Amino acid sequence: MPTENERKYVLEDPAAVLALWPRADWSEVRQGYLPGDARIRRQTTGRITTDSFTCKITAAGRLIEIETAVEARDFDDLWPLTTRRIHKLRHTVADPAGLRWDIDLLLDGEEAFYWAMAECEMPEAMDAPPSILAALRPHVAYAVPRDRQVEFSNARLSDPAHAAALVW
């Protein structure tokens, strides 16, 4: 089972971040949180849509993330059960060290950006990436400390009021 180990970075100027890569390289994501520790996600890139189910749980001092593909029907049946939802644009890129960066631009009900964040996925033993992805460096407003990760989780950021109230 994979251990989730990521570092989060709050980004400034979502429109400028969006312009860093061609629009066709961004995915549209609809994500909803189910009762308990699970979520579902529908990600569309171009004409390709994938649906997934994810459960994250802390065990033996580590965060275990289990993700599996689900059929569109399963996503559609589960969506009404979600209690919190996020609509976002996502771009994923590998850095020179081979680490995966997910750049998320969160959208409100009027399709306006209200939050931008990058997450770097790392091997379990790594504390921080060797460097910030070069394209993002000018846009990084805050490197989220490990002890504040929960405040900056997508589940919490699904509430634009929570995002607006965050202080760093």
Q: Express each pLDDT in 48-74 by its tens digit.
A: 999 999 998 889 988 899 999 999 999
Residue 147 CA to residue 24 CA, distance in Å, equals: 35
Count structural domains, the chain: 1
Query: Which residue in this structure is represented by tokens 């910030």?
Result: 132
Q: Supply the mean pLDDT for the chain.
A: 95
Kindly state the average pLDDT of the residues 121-148.
Answer: 95
Does residue 1 lie within any of the structural domains?
no
Range of the domain at 86: 6-165
Per-residue confidence (pLDDT) for residue 36, from 0 to 100: 84
DSSP-assigned letters across all residues of 53-79: EEEEEEETTEEEEEEEE--HHHHHHHG
Per residue in 8-36, pLDDT tens? 999 999 999 999 999 999 999 999 999 98
CB atoms within 10 A of CB 83: 10
% of the chain residues with pLDDT over 90: 89
Cα dihedral value 137, 138, 142, 144, nearest 10: -20
User: Within 13 Å, how many C-alpha atoms sit on residue 115's CB side?
Assistant: 28
The domain spanning residue 71 has which CATH number?
Answer: 2.40.320
For the chain, the maximum distance between any two Cα atoms, rounded to a whole number of angstroms, is 42
pTM here is 0.93
56 assigned to some structural domain = yes
134 beta partners: none
125 against 80, higher pLDDT:
80
- Give the model's pLDDT for residue 1: 45
pLDDT at position 3, please? 84
In angstroms, the Cα distances linking 4 to 30, 62, 69, 88, 152 are 21, 8, 18, 21, 15
Which pLDDT belongs to residue 58?
A: 87
Looking at the domain assignment, is residue 71 inside a domain? yes
Query: Mean pLDDT throughout 102-131?
Result: 95
